[in-house]
């Protein structure tokens, strides 16, 4: 069975500082990997995704993520955080078996940005 772990429940960073949110997955092969962001009172918005190819992927809002097969990780990064980045971030994996799609989300990391 697949699983996703986001070890940090809550992270606080200063505006302008760099950010890294961790995501580890468990699956027998390389799944499709996603990062979503949820602003307060909103639905989930896709930040970026990885399927194959270049292991460093760029997303919206200045975010990037790096897939590391050896570590089963897909960590999200941003060089300089803005106050508007305060939100909850979810990592997700998608796999296919017998034509059926299976989606698993991590438990989320809540980001607080301080002045």
Partner 1 sequence: EAQVTQNPRYLITVTGKKLTVTCSQNMNHEYMSWYRQDPGLGLRQIYYSMNVEVTDKGDVPEGYKVSRKEKRNFPLILESPSPNQTSLYFCASSPGTGKERNTEAFFGQGTRLTVV
Q: How far apart are CA 47 and CA 24, in angstroms?
A: 17
Return the SS3 of 12.
Answer: strand
Q: Is 71 in the site for partner 1 (CB under 8 A)?
A: no
Pick from 46, 56, 60, 114 the residue near partner 1 by CB under 8 A: 46
Least spacing, CB of residue 39 vs partner 1, in Å? 11
Please give the structure tokens belonging to residue 103. Answer: 């989606």
Pick from 23, 25, 34, 85 the residue near partner 1 by CB under 8 A: 34
Residue 76 CA from chain centroid, whole number: 5
Sign of CA dihedral 62, 30, 73, 55: negative
Q: Is 86 in the site for partner 1 (CB under 8 A)?
A: no
Provide the 10 A C-beta neighbour count for residue 93: 22
Q: Is 22 in the site for partner 1 (CB under 8 A)?
A: no
Q: Is 25 in the site for partner 1 (CB under 8 A)?
A: no
Return all residues near 29 (Cβ < 8 A) that are at least 6 apart: 95
Least spacing, CB of residue 34 vs partner 1, in Å? 6
Considering the complex, state which of residue 43 and residue 115 has its C-beta at the smaller distance from partner 1.
43
What residue ranges bind partner 1 (CB under 8 A)?
A: 6, 9, 32, 34, 36, 42-46, 49, 51, 90, 96, 99-101, 103-108
């Amino acid at each position: 069975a697949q699983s996703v772990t986001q070890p940090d429940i809550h992270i606080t960073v200063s505006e302008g500082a760099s950010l890294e949110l961790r995501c580890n997955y468990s699956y027998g092969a390389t799944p499709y990997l996603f990062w979503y962001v949820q602003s307060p009172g909103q639905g989930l918005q896709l930040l970026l995704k990885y399927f194959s190819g270049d292991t460093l992927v760029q997303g919206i809002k200045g975010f990037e993520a790096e897939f590391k097969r050896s570590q089963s990780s897909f960590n999200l990064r941003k060089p300089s955080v803005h106050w508007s980045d305060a939100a909850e971030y979810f990592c997700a994996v998608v796999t296919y078996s017998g034509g059926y799609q299976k989606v698993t989300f991590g438990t989320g990391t809540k980001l607080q940005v301080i002045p």
